[in-house]
Every structure is written in structure tokens, then in C-alpha cells.
Chain A
Amino acid sequence: EVQLVESGGVVVQPGGSLRLSCAASGFTFDDYTMHWVRQAPGKGLEWVSLILWDGSDTYSADSVKGRFTISRDNSKNSLYLQMNSLRTEDTALYYCAKDIDPYSSSSNFDYWGQGTLVTVSS
């Protein structure tokens, strides 16, 4: 059974930093592109960042580029999101999500975690 479990969400002050983690199990982690998607309270989904299966390339939304860094450790079946220079508008539930096909990168996310809540507030 595929499982994605996010952790690391806390209350942090504006300008602060945070690292989110996503522990994956039930599939061959290093075969799949992984994504972070966020959802502000009461709002829609916003794609944040992706990393290819071998970590060779990453892409991030303009809203987080230069502040957030996605990474992965395939030896630990783990995905990370390093978040720096946090703003109040980064307050959201952060999901990790798995791409549907191996060795590809799409907008088709077939498994999602339950999310971890990041609150940026003074």
C-alpha cells in the first residue's frame, strides 16, 4: 500500500525557516517524480515544486522560487521542502504527491499524503 506521510509543519514567525519532510512507502520511491502542493485555509490548490525521480532537476512556482528548495534522499525514501524567508501568505496545508508513471513528470498525481500545516504568524 502506497503511503505518504508529511511532517514538520509548525507555527513560525515571518522571515523564519522550516523544513518539511515526506516519508514514502509502498512503492519504488526512486522511480517517481515527486511534488509539493499547498492549500491555504479555505482556498484552492497551488502547485509548489517538483523533483525528478533521480533528483537531477527541480522546478518551483514563481511564488516560492528563490525561497523554497525541494530535495530528496532516495536512500531514505524521503522528500523534503526547505522553506526560507517565510511570509504570512505561505500559511497553508502542505501536501506531498506522487507522479502517476515512473521515469516521467506530469500533472497526474495519483497518491497524496494527508498534509502538514504550516502557519506563518507573529
Chain B
Amino acid sequence: SSELTQDPAVSVALGQTVRITCQGDSLRSYYASWYQQKPGQAPILVIYDKNNRPSGIPDRFSGSISGNTASLTITGAQAEDEADYYCSSRDTSGNLRVFGTGTKVTVL
């Protein structure tokens, strides 16, 4: 299977915690990475190899994985975190790459 499924939308109150999930068979074998995309902008890598943050990404972003589900958690969400979030990984063959369906995060 080469599908990664995400909830279409979630909302979070300012300063609260939100978790975004990504489900797929390939996640039993391969790590997920996570991307943030704001309107009109290119995606930005926020988490890779399960729970590594690139330089410049705030530590309120964290990742985890359990079975076939990867999660991105934003602890203490800020207004600037409002964006679309996509997971990514390999497909079950390991050769191809695949993106999740995307989750729109609204900060209330």
C-alpha cells in the first residue's frame, strides 16, 4: 500500500496541545517526516526520522510513532502554527516516497 491517511482538519485553542496523526502500512517499517505549509509558500520540514527537528524549528514540535501510526504534536500552539501539515514516508516497497493527505490546523 502507498497510502498515508490524515484527518482533514483539526482545531486547537491558543497555547493548548494538538496531535496530528498519519496512518499507513509503510509506517510499520519506515519513519515519517512532517511538513508545514502556509498559503502561497513552499513546505517546511518540521520533524524527520520520527522525532528530529531541523535547525530553527521550535521545540514545541515533536514526533512519535506507534505501530502503523505516526503523530506530530504541537505543545503550546501559537497563532503562527496555523497551516497545513503533511506527513511523508516511503511506500511499502521502500523505493517510492508518499505524502499523507494533509491536515489543516486552525488555532483558535
Contacts and interface: CB of A to CB of B under 8 A. Distances in A.
Interface of A: 35, 37, 44-47, 50, 59-62, 95, 100, 106-110, 112-115
B99 A110 contact: no
B86 A107 contact: no
B45 A47 contact: no
A107 B102 contact: no
B42 A107 contact: no
B90 to A, nearest CB: 6
A47 B31 CA distance: 16
Contact of A110 (B2, B54, B86, B102): B54
27 contacts: A35-B97, A37-B43, A37-B99, A44-B84, A44-B86, A44-B101, A44-B102, A45-B35, A45-B86, A45-B88, A46-B99, A47-B99, A50-B97, A59-B95, A61-B96, A95-B42, A95-B43, A100-B45, A107-B31, A107-B33, A107-B90, A108-B49, A109-B45, A110-B45, A110-B48, A112-B43, A114-B42
B97 A45 contact: no
B89 interface: yes
B6 to A, nearest CB: 9
Contacts of B49: 106, 108
On chain B, which size bracket covers the interface?
A: 20 to 34
The 9 closest A-B pairs by CB, nearest first: A108-B48, A112-B42, A47-B97, A44-B102, A45-B99, A107-B88, A108-B33, A107-B97, A59-B95
A6 to B, nearest CB: 10
A57 to B, nearest CB: 9
Contacts of A109: 33, 35, 43, 45, 88
Nearest to B98: A47
B85 to A, nearest CB: 11
A35 B97 CA distance: 10
Contacts of B32: 107
